[in-house]
Structure 1
Amino acid sequence: MNAGAPVRAFVAFGGNEGEVQANLLAAIDALGRLPGTSVRRCSSFYRTPAWGRTDQPDFLNGVVELRTELGASELMQALLAVEARFGRVRGEGAERWGPRTVDLDLLVYGDEVRDDPGLTLPHPRLHERAFVLVPLAEIAPGLAVPGRGRVDQLLAAVDASGIQAIP
């Protein structure tokens, strides 16, 4: 566990396979049950067109803000374990940009900047992805993404057409 004070972390969630909304709600609940971790805010769910490989169903995406005492690597391992519980396959045999039940990406962990095998912070492509920036801007528009700028400014620089909030 992180020896210091709790850290503010942001995690993107998404999926497009199975009982998507129920899976995502259960995954968010699982995040709040991690040791020393609480869910502070959760964005709306957004329907977004599939990206990368477009011949698949639309995704539901969102972002959750956590307050956690877990270290960044511990939190990342916990995210992977939650994904696995919902049947997410990563690594060899997984289809890049393919359908998934639950996808969890650690976007920002405090003001930490790192590039290690298995964990890059902030997430290396978050500033390019409207499906991440739209929900992130809903809950933290003024968040400074280390090395990239404020979330609201990053969102203004991408095409967010096609992303629809789910009522």
Structure 2
Amino acid sequence: MAIAYLGLGSNLGDRKGNLEDAVDALDNQLDISVTRRSDIHETKPYGNTEQPDFLNMCLEIETRMSPLSLLETVLGIEHLLGRVRTEVWGPRVIDIDILLYEDLELQLDDLSIPHHEMHKRGFVLEPLSEIAGQVKHPGFDLTIDELKDKLTV
């Protein structure tokens, strides 16, 4: 089983309910088990700031899925929960990002592991540090707590 970390966000509709539905949908997958979850944090939008505030959280999962299969699964869950991709950094019912997958470094057209912007985003690092503070980011050789501290300096 591989350990991966996911970031979840929602700023449309029942934001908390959307997050809970996503956690349930992930945990109900045959090859995924949600093992830890952060608190839910309310955050300002990133990029396009003319939209409602987000609720964000992070999950630790154990999975038998490959990174690409996991990506297909999270995209399917987003679609199932009503996500429609209309604009980059736009409002969304649910967003599920693969942040880390073991100590893998992978750069494909559709998937970057570690997530290519996670180290710049407090709304990712804050909840991720609750469940994975001592986990090292393979690209920077810094822990999540160290990246979070660097961001707030």
**Could you tell me the TM-score, scaled by structure 2's length?**
0.96
Give the whole-Å Cα distance in 2 for the aligned partners of 1:41 and 1:122: 19
Give the whole-Å Cα distance in 2 for the aligned partners of 1:109 and 1:96: 24
1:64 aligns with 2:59: yes
1:104 Cα deviation from its structure 2 partner: 0.3
Aligned partner of 1:146 in structure 2 is: 138
1:52 aligns with 2:44: no
Aligned partner of 1:130 in structure 2 is: 122
Aligned partner of 2:72 in structure 1 is: 77
1:39 aligns with 2:34: yes
Aligned partner of 1:97 in structure 2 is: 89
Aligned partner of 1:163 in structure 2 is: none
Aligned partner of 1:88 in structure 2 is: 83
More helix by share: 2
1:112 aligns with 2:112: no
Q: Unaligned 5+ residue runs, structure 1? A: 1-5, 161-167
**Could you tell me the TM-score, scaled by structure 1's length?**
0.88
Q: Unaligned 5+ residue runs, structure 2? A: none
Moved over 6 A (4+): none
Question: CA RMSD for the aligned pairs?
Answer: 1.1
Secondary structure (helix, strand or coil) at the match of 1:56 reads coil
1:30 aligns with 2:22: no
Q: How many residues align?
A: 152
Give the whole-Å Cα distance in 2 for the aligned partners of 1:106 and 1:117: 14
Give the whole-Å Cα distance in 2 for the aligned partners of 1:30 and 1:111: 25
